[in-house]
Chain A
């Protein structure tokens, strides 16, 4: 995979592929190609997530890594243009795997018993929102998810500086 910036031709080809995939209605003789590409992406994404050590029992973490993995799986140029179109397909590809895994049983998920203070500046939700914002090319949801984190951050800072939040 090259990290070189994509050429205009590559971008156009990737954008066309993205539209085909997004519509689920590939035109002309591209149908098989689109399906093959989708299958390749699906397999690559699963392989990459496995290699990253992200257990299938942690679908949320796997989901949050999707944009990164897509970059690796299909190459920078294609991923950048296609990401919005196929991210839902990759998500769908992961879901059956996760749901068939006994480790995904709700009873196997650890219960977070840490006190709220210990999670005072937990930014996990914002990180997930960032991944979604990158994949969807829309920061609106990110702004909403920042609201809670922002409040906790400012309260912590005010307290740090001797104020009474």
Chain B
């Protein structure tokens, strides 16, 4: 009886806002995937940007929040590249990078997509700098991955 009451309490308890935010991120990726699959990249971009317009709950770990948001900015930038607006892609990547820097996948992804945008805008020197920095991060990540392997 006590166990049943406890189960009811657990089921009735409001979900953790952090988990809800992560779930919302998962859902918006899924919606964007569907929109892209049906050829509606503008809708996909709008969905992703709408998610980014709402700040994460303050209790979400800063690193986790940055990773989730930077990953979405990467997708937005990639979509802008795909539809032929490199200036928008560069701005998207800048917005993502403004959230913070670290030697991780998400920052490297943003540097790569910004590098491509800069290339398309004929700013080769800036593109080289971004590719080089992304390559440095990639080397760090590869070393870490190799060390982790048995």
Binding site for B on A (CB under 8 A): 5-6, 11, 61, 64-65, 67-68, 71, 76, 80-81, 110, 122-124, 126-127, 130-131, 133-134, 137-140, 142-143, 146-147, 149-151, 153-155, 157-158, 161-163, 165
Contacts and interface: CB of A to CB of B under 8 A. Distances in A.
B22 A161 contact: yes
Contacts of B138: 67-68, 127, 130-131, 134
Prevailing SS type, chain B contact patch? helix
B64 A157 contact: yes
Which interface residue of B23, B29, B150 has the most chain A CB atoms within 10 A?
Answer: B23
A129 to B, nearest CB: 9
A147 to B, nearest CB: 8
Given A158-B19, A163-B22, A137 B119 contact: yes
B18 interface: yes
29 contacts: A61-B142, A64-B142, A65-B139, A65-B142, A68-B139, A123-B105, A127-B105, A127-B145, A130-B112, A134-B112, A134-B131, A137-B115, A137-B119, A138-B116, A139-B78, A139-B109, A143-B75, A146-B74, A150-B71, A151-B29, A153-B71, A154-B22, A154-B26, A155-B26, A158-B26, A162-B16, A163-B15, A163-B19, A163-B22
B128 interface: yes
B145 A123 contact: yes
B35 interface: no
Contacts of B146: 61
A139 B132 contact: no
A130 B134 contact: yes
Prevailing SS type, chain A contact patch? helix
B23 A140 contact: no
Interface of B: 15-16, 18-20, 22-23, 25-26, 29, 33, 60, 64, 67-68, 71, 74-75, 78, 81-82, 105, 108-109, 112-113, 115-116, 119, 124-125, 128-129, 131-132, 134-135, 138-139, 141-142, 145-146, 150
Given A134-B134, A146-B109, 9 more contacts: A68-B135, A68-B139, A130-B112, A134-B131, A146-B74, A147-B33, A158-B23, A158-B26, A161-B22
A165 B128 CA distance: 40
B109 A130 contact: yes
Contacts of B29: 150-151, 154
Contacts of B124: 11, 81
Contacts of A161: 16, 18-19, 22, 60
